[in-house]
Amino acid sequence: MIIPLFVLTVVLAFAFALYALADIRPSLTPLVSLVTIADIVVIFGMFGMLYKGVEITLIAAVIVTSFAVKKYKNNIKEKLSDFLQPGVILFATSCLLMLAYLSYAQPIMHEWDEFSFWGISQLLIKNHDRLYTYYSSSMLGQSIPPALPVLSYIFQWCGTRFVEWTGFFAYDVLMFAAFSAFTAAFERKSTNSAIFVYLLAFITPFFFAVSEFLTYMKPVYITAYSDIPMALTFAGAVAVYFFSEKGNENAIIPVLPVLMFITFTKDMGLALGCIALFVIFFDMLVARENFVFLKIKGFFGKCFAAFVMLMTVGGTYFGWGFHLGKVLAVNRTDYGGSSGMGIVQMLLTGVKELLIGPKSDKFLFIQDNFIQAFSGTKVSMIGSGRNVVLLIVIIFVFAFVFGDKKGKKRSATMLFSTTVGFVGYYIFHLLLYVYILGDEAYNLVSYDRYMYTYYIPWLMMAVFCLAMAARDGAKFWAKGALAGIVCCVLLLFNFYIIPENIFTGVTGNSFAIRKDVAAKADHIRDVIGEDDVIFLYCGQDDGMRWFTYTFELIDNYIIPNRGFVSTGQTEQETKQLLQKEMYDRFKDYGVTHMLMDWTSHDFCLYFDELCDVSTSETGNAAVGYYKVIYGNNSLRFELVKGGKVNFD
């Protein structure tokens, strides 16, 4: 608890320095400070200096802060009181409350992709003190950029072991920093408006996660999934520009580290970064008179600013690609997937197929589904995407009607540019489903998750415009609208939420599979050698238990069971064929041990005779760890350790 608290303090201190030295609006500084620190550490990490990188960056942040304090020694009290705007106070308070809650409840990871990438990468980085590109492991997705796992690392870099809830805390700090940026229109005299915006931002992720938590617990603030933090950082990038008062580079340069962070988050971050700079560029065109960027004035200055942002996004993307090429010898642009296409090729082929044709059956089928899903698939508490867009447009209309002259222009432009962004985002995902995803594309797997990644920031951007109206326009009406929206969303939240289902309600039961697997892994951990290559047998596993084992036994290779396919005429023949198949596969992977998690009827029938202890005694409620003895074209399994496992 001490280390995360210390890092949080440094982030806040550096935020103060950014305010004092670079004259960034106070409420924007927590986000800029956090992502700047994270970006620098990622770059250090890309050169194999992760641990040192954190130390150097934090020390540098402290030095910069002391310099700022020294410079304003005489009026430090004034400066501090100016710095403590409502956004900053709300940010610091919610971080502390969250820290207290997390260290009390100590939640653990328990969702699918936390074990395929988002959680396991945090564990790997912490265990090795290096980026995961530098060594091989059972983890999938080695080419995914590392901003979020590194963020988790920063908050526990010198801890003795990886703590899962610290990872959640790092994400929460990022999200709360974004919320703080959303409130940046308001200073202390308008605290109540800042509270409205902050609360709305806090509840909004739940507003969209509804379809999942009706059947599942959707944790939002205790998850390693990247979608919601990335979505909020995207809105944060726009906020950092939008709420800046200055008509010069001071409005643009703070955006750059945020854009860099988004692009470092996930491949999709490239698309979101581009949309962010598109939105910012259009707002610059209508709202910034006498704009000067690095001494270049007017329209060309704006173009140059957009160009610098584009270079940042592109540079980050290709920088990571360069790193991959150097360290892993793989090509970043190669998206792979079912058709083995690169991303540029995908866009070219896709746009051609969309506009000119001829369209394949898969394309037509998914296109139809995509159009239907917009009005048919539930993505939020108020229903489908169509309803969400309607709500967003209504907020924009409020902002337009209640805004002052400049506010009206900005709201209209923002509505236009974000809508274009949405259409692009939607088409981009259509192409992803058609060309990159395999058969799972036909039922639009994870559609809602991909979509709320845009709806959440879009809704917040509409709120930015309304916030401006509450400050500069028809204050009473705009503020009333803001309050009304918060109340409505809270009402819906109360209606839908089951207290046990959200992050405050987690109990041991929520982590059932995880705890079961952990208990079994702990039971045999002492007999597992460093170089063991383990074949995991788990009857009826959909992959979740295998993922969880790769997390629990992080230092070993875990080979999943992919099912046995050969069949012969008789049972005896089938048995011989299957045993031969297993032998070949084990030789291929160099399997040294077998872990029996859950046995099955088939396994008992075909393979039990190879084991010295029947798997019916070591599977299910017990666990068995067998050594594989290779014979002449045959296998034997010798039990190393096994037994019943208590889950209490």
Does position 519 bind another protein by CB under 8 A? yes
| Binder of another protein out of 296, 397, 420, 483 (CB under 8 A) | 483
Cβ–Cβ under 8 Å, residues 196 and 482: yes
> Which helix H or strand E contains 23, and what residues bound it?
none
Count CB atoms within 10 A of the CB of residue 29.
32
Which residue, 100 or 330, is less far from another protein as judged by CB?
100
Does position 502 bind another protein by CB under 8 A? yes
| Binder of another protein out of 22, 105, 287, 328 (CB under 8 A) | 105
* Rounded CA separation 332/492 (Å): 43
CB of 622 to another protein, least distance (A): 9
Does position 378 bind another protein by CB under 8 A? no
CB of 463 to another protein, least distance (A): 15
Which residue, 494 or 572, is less far from another protein as judged by CB?
494
Count CB atoms within 10 A of the CB of residue 220.
20
Question: Using CB under 8 A, which of the segments 148-156, 265-273, 461-469, 512-520 binds another protein?
Answer: 512-520
Chain centroid to CA 254? 22
Does position 507 bind another protein by CB under 8 A? yes
φ, ψ (nearest 5 deg) of residue 379: -120, -5
Cβ–Cβ under 8 Å, residues 166 and 152: yes
- Binders of another protein among 532-591, rule CB under 8 A? none
Which residue, 214 or 390, is less far from another protein as judged by CB?
214
Does position 423 bind another protein by CB under 8 A? no
Give just the sign of the alpha carbon dihedral 333, 337, 341, 347.
negative
- Contacts for 647 with CB less than 8 Å, ≥ 6 apart: 515, 516, 519
Which tokens in the block code for residue 339?
């058709």
Cβ–Cβ under 8 Å, residues 575 and 606: yes
The residue type found at 316 is: T
Query: How many chain residues interact with another protein (CB under 8 A)?
Result: 45
Does position 513 bind another protein by CB under 8 A? yes
Does position 647 bind another protein by CB under 8 A? yes
- Decide: helix, strand or coil at residue 31: helix
Question: Using CB under 8 A, which of the segments 100-108, 162-170, 287-295, 632-640 binds another protein?
Answer: 100-108
Which residue, 35 or 228, is less far from another protein as judged by CB?
228
CB of 648 to another protein, least distance (A): 5
Which residue, 630 or 647, is less far from another protein as judged by CB?
647
* Rounded CA separation 503/223 (Å): 9
Alpha carbons within 13 angstroms on the beta-carbon side of residue 358 total 2
Which residue, 588 or 648, is less far from another protein as judged by CB?
648
CB of 27 to another protein, least distance (A): 16
Does position 160 bind another protein by CB under 8 A? no
Does position 383 bind another protein by CB under 8 A? no
Which residue, 80 or 483, is less far from another protein as judged by CB?
483
The residue type found at 430 is: L
CB of 488 to another protein, least distance (A): 12
CB of 514 to another protein, least distance (A): 10
Listing DSSP states for 568-622 in one string gives -SSHHHHHHHHHHHHHHHHHHHT--EEEEEE--HHHHHHHGGGBSS-HHHHSTTE
Does position 500 bind another protein by CB under 8 A? yes
Which residue, 44 or 179, is less far from another protein as judged by CB?
179
Place of tokens 């990571």: 320
CB of 198 to another protein, least distance (A): 8
SS3 letters across 458-509: HHHHHHHHHHHHHHHCCHHHHHHHHHHHHHHHHHHHHHHCCHHHCHHHCCHH
Q: For strand 378-380 and strand 383-384, is the pairing parallel, antiparallel, or unpaired?
A: antiparallel
Which residue, 323 or 514, is less far from another protein as judged by CB?
514
* Rounded CA separation 86/92 (Å): 10
- Contacts for 68 with CB less than 8 Å, ≥ 6 apart: 16, 17, 20, 21
Does position 438 bind another protein by CB under 8 A? no
Which residue, 148 or 217, is less far from another protein as judged by CB?
217
Which residue, 302 or 545, is less far from another protein as judged by CB?
545
| Binder of another protein out of 358, 499, 563, 631 (CB under 8 A) | 499
- Binders of another protein among 211-230, rule CB under 8 A? 214-215
Does position 601 bind another protein by CB under 8 A? no
CB of 322 to another protein, least distance (A): 44
- Binders of another protein among 176-195, rule CB under 8 A? 189-193, 195
Cβ–Cβ under 8 Å, residues 386 and 394: no
Cβ–Cβ under 8 Å, residues 537 and 606: no
φ, ψ (nearest 5 deg) of residue 337: 80, -165
| Binder of another protein out of 496, 544, 583, 592 (CB under 8 A) | 496
Question: Using CB under 8 A, which of the segments 142-150, 246-254, 447-455, 511-519 binds another protein?
Answer: 511-519
Which tokens in the block code for residue 257?
């580290």
Which tokens in the block code for residue 297?
């004035």
Cβ–Cβ under 8 Å, residues 593 and 535: yes
Does position 244 bind another protein by CB under 8 A? no
Which residue, 122 or 211, is less far from another protein as judged by CB?
211
CB of 498 to another protein, least distance (A): 7
Cβ–Cβ under 8 Å, residues 39 and 31: no
Does position 96 bind another protein by CB under 8 A? no
Question: Using CB under 8 A, which of the segments 340-348, 417-425, 453-461, 493-501 binds another protein?
Answer: 493-501
Which residue, 321 or 383, is less far from another protein as judged by CB?
383
Does position 101 bind another protein by CB under 8 A? yes
Question: Using CB under 8 A, which of the segments 43-51, 166-174, 416-424, 497-505 binds another protein?
Answer: 497-505
Count CB atoms within 10 A of the CB of residue 90.
23
User: Which residues in this chain contact another protein in the complex, by CB under 8 A?
Assistant: 97, 101, 104-105, 189-193, 195-196, 198-199, 202-203, 214-215, 475-476, 479-480, 483, 486-487, 490, 496, 498-500, 502, 504-505, 507-510, 512-513, 515-516, 519, 620-621, 647-648
